[in-house]
Structure 1
Amino acid sequence: MQMDPPANRPTHHFNFHGNGAEYFGIWIVNLLLSIVTLGIYSAWAKVRTNNYFYGNTELDGDRFEYLATPMQILIGRIIAIVAVILWMTLSQMSPKLAIGLALLLALAFPVLAARNLRFDARMTRFRNLRFDFAGSYVGAYVVFLLFPILAYGLIALCFGLVAWGASMHSVAIIVVGVIAAIGAGIFGYGLTMAAVASYVINGYRYGTSKFKGKIAISAYVKIALGAATALVLSMLLIALAMLPIGLSELVQAAMQGASMEDIQQDRQLAMTLAGMMFGGYLALLLAGLLVFAFVKVKIRNYVLGQVQLENKLQLGSNLTVAGFLGLVVTNLLLTAFTLGLGRPWVEVRTARYLANHTQVSGDMGFTEARDHNGGRDNAIADEMVDAFDLNIAVI
């Protein structure tokens, strides 16, 4: 759903002005003080980090602001840590109790997710207007709980068909069940992810102005099919490339009259096979990174391409798979060869790359937006989501 744009509609690109060396100073101080204070300073560290990244992100000559205070973060973090410790302690006392607590957490997750989105939105300001999130709790339960249960249930039914085929010793039923399970998994992924993206996008506000976007399940299904195809083809190519090497070495040793015991004790052959396995592992790693880059780029470009603000502004993203893959690989190498000290440069490079490939089309001076009068909220849900690793990723 695109706007009907005038021929000369302006396009405004995001810009990120931070640099690795400057951020390294903030990052290392945050790290050291968090260690010295046994984690207490981490609340101030989070605010300083967000202030740096928000403050260095520019759109049409103005920069974003992060409004949360360290005390908001600290109170939320303390409550989240106490909840995690309580959960771990009670889980050790009884497996049944652990299951019950996990179910309670699952039931609470939609509320935590909605409040987390609201907090993050309200803590962000641009041109003196705060963002907001107005998604309902009912909608949160539908997209974060009901749809995933339906998806997993559909997959379980397909595996039940596989089990039935195995009990009947029917290869045909097993094959049909496996194919159905794969199809159900892809459809369930598309259904759930499209629902989450739609809920988040249409719940966001800039002041009182509404974001909107029509997200299609079919788009996510196509992306999932493309990723699955790429992964399967990559694995086949790797197998076809590695197999002849191993077979040729074994055949050559056998032709020279070597026995199985000799072959097992042949160091050169063992090193060749070990090298082949290592090469295969690296190839699989690269294939996995390629699939990750493909999914990330396609989803981000598609989702942002659907987002509008009051039919006045159109968001867009033009990432490329090759460019993003190059960023991911170089970031991994930078992190590995600096033993983690290159992390600030990784974060800055990523922020700059994403900003440079994100744009807004339309008149940035439209005047319909007004600031909302929603409260500043607390950071409890935000920290609970982080503590239990329940973060929501739409793009």
Structure 2
Amino acid sequence: MQGASQQTVEPVPPAPAAAGAPSERVLALEFSGSAREYFRVWAVNLCLTLLTLGVFSAWAKVRKKRYFYAHTRLVGTPFQYLAQPLPILKGRIIAAVVFVVYYLSSHYFTSVMPYVLAAGAALAPWVVVRSAAFNARYSAFRNMTFQFGARYLDAAKTIYAWGLVAVLVVGSMFNWWGNPWFGVAAFGVFSLAFPWWIKRLKHFLVSHTGFGGEHGELSATGGQFFAVYFKAGLIIAGAAFATGLLVAASAQVAGTRPYAFLLAMLPAYAGYVLAFAFVQAHLANLVWNHTRLGPLRFQSTLRARGLAKLYVTNALGILGTLGLLIPWAVVRTLRYRAENMRVLLDGELDAFNAGAASAVRAAGAEVGEFFDLDLSL
């Protein structure tokens, strides 16, 4: 699978050389989970969540994460997930209330929708900070927990860079979207600025994440993020061009071949999957390959074609078995990512020292997960 692609991987910045420093060595990283074992965890979680009308979902999340953490090992030592179900359940209740308010305002009380959006914009930095802090605080390695030290204002400055999001929210409040020129201009500016916005967000998350007294550093540039999205745009443009040609050709034979139009759309579907896999693989490579945590740095070698093949076979397996192969798809995806990740150590792991860590409420993490916010590295 890995050899199926010949695409270029983002270069790993060289580690700074120091006189007398020990040579950099690779630490063994492995994922030992199996589809058969995880199927039992998944099946119990699904059944109990349905029987309890969703209440067990908090316990299901803890069981799932503990299984994956325990089967992910670095130099033979497993990671640990320390969160408890009850705080997660409370957070999910808050998330559900927020979602109900959003749904009612968007479908029945549309006059208050702009104000709900404004409140959501004010809430977003808190969600980002609390979500990242909760996930870090209850993730541990060698009995030491990770930390996330950002504050609300730090997140607000990152999320609302250049005031673009604020302009969009205010525009919705005063119905600026009624002017097509405003919509075109806002969409164009936001599209061009999006890669730099993602770079700021990733830098914010990495630089405020710590472990054992060390904090992360991200050296990737906005231009490198822009290159990833630009190349993905070229893939979509090429697929759209091929689709247009096939649709035009199929229009002439649609009368005798009713499925000609659907077949003509295949390049569009393939282009979307490949572009999505390209962004996922190259963004992960870009972030990990330019991240340092104390004496550690990382090398990710994900391939777009390999990831696309993984997505397609996973989807076909899940559809063909009506969802029964979901555990198989999850396990093979995690194994593929672990096999394409190297952890490089320049020094000793003893350089990380345990420090005090405070408990973090789970509400922010669950609101972020409820609205499908991607806050991972």
Considering the TM-score relative to the shorter chain, is it more than 0.5?
yes
- Between the aligned partners of 2:14 and 2:190, the Cα distance in structure 1 is 30
In the alignment, structure 1 residue 30 sits paired with structure 2 residue 42: no
Aligned residues: 355
Deviation at 1:235, TM superposition (A): 1.6
SS at match of 1:367: helix
Q: Does 1:49 align with 2:64?
A: yes
Q: Which of 236, 241, 245 is residue 236 of structure 1 equivalent to?
A: 241
Partners of 2:54 and 2:32 lie apart in 1 by 29
Query: Is 2:267 the partner of 1:283?
Result: yes
CA, structure 1 residues 21+152, in 2 after alignment: closer, same or farther (shift >3 Å)?
farther
**Structure 2 residue 4 is matched with structure 1 residue 4:** no
Distance 1:182 1:49, change over 3 A: same
SS of equivalent to 2:147 = strand
Matched, 1:345 2:328: yes
2:148 — aligned with what? 133
Q: Name the CA distance, whole Å, in 2 between partners of 1:85 and 1:292.
A: 30
* 358, 361, 365: which one aligns with 1:378: 361
The C-alpha deviation readout for 1:135-163, integer Å capped at 9, x for no partner, is 2322200122234626976xx9xx99984
Which one of 282, 305, 317 corresponds to residue 322 of structure 1?
305
Write the distance in 1 (CA, Å) between the matches of 2:246 and 2:106. 48
Query: Normalization by structure 2: what TM-score?
Result: 0.86
Q: CA RMSD in A?
A: 2.7
Q: Displacement, 1:81? A: 2.2
Distance change (3 Å), C-alpha of 1:280 and 1:133: same
Contact in 2 for aligned 1:13/1:356 (Cα 8 Å) = no
Cα displacement (A) at 1:305: 0.6
List gaps (5 residues or longer) in structure 2: 1-12, 172-176
Distance 1:152 1:270, change over 3 A: farther
Structure 1 residues 277 and 11: alpha-carbon distance in aligned structure 2, compared to 1, 3 A threshold: same
1:227 and 2:232 aligned: yes
1:182 deviates by 7.8
Identity %: 27
Residue 144 (str. 1) matches residue 156 (str. 2): no
After TM superposition, the score normalised by the length of structure 1 is 0.82
Deviation of 1:231 after TM superposition, in Å, equals 0.9
Instruction: Please point out which of 245, 270, 277 is paired with 2:255.
Output: 270
Q: Which deviates further from its counterpart, 139-148 or 59-68?
A: 139-148
Stretch deviating more after TM superposition (205-214 or 191-200)? 205-214
Preserved contact between residue 105 and residue 111 of structure 2 (Cα < 8 Å): no
User: What aligned pairs does 1:292-307 form with structure 2 within 5 A after superposition?
Assistant: 292-307=276-291
Say whether the 8 Å CA contact 1:214–1:306 is kept in structure 2: yes
- Residue 335 of structure 1 contacts residue 342 of structure 1 at CA under 8 Å; is this kept in 2? yes
The 3 A distance-change label for structure 1 pair 99 and 151 is: closer
The aligned amino acid for 1:306 is: H
The alpha carbon displacement at 1:12 in A equals 2.4
For structure 1, the 5+ residue unaligned runs are 165-176, 250-268
Q: Is the 8 A contact 1:90 1:98 kept in 2?
A: yes
* SS state at 2:27 partner: strand
Report the Cα distance in structure 2 between the residues aligned to 1:45 and 1:151, rounded to whole angstroms: 37
Is the aligned partner of 1:313 residue 2:318? no
The offset of 1:378, in angstroms, is: 1.6
Structure that is richer in helix per residue: 1
The letter for the 1-side match of 2:160 is L
Distance change in 2, residues 1:202/1:102 (3 Å): same
Shift of 1:363: 4.2
Distance 1:111 1:206 in 2: 22
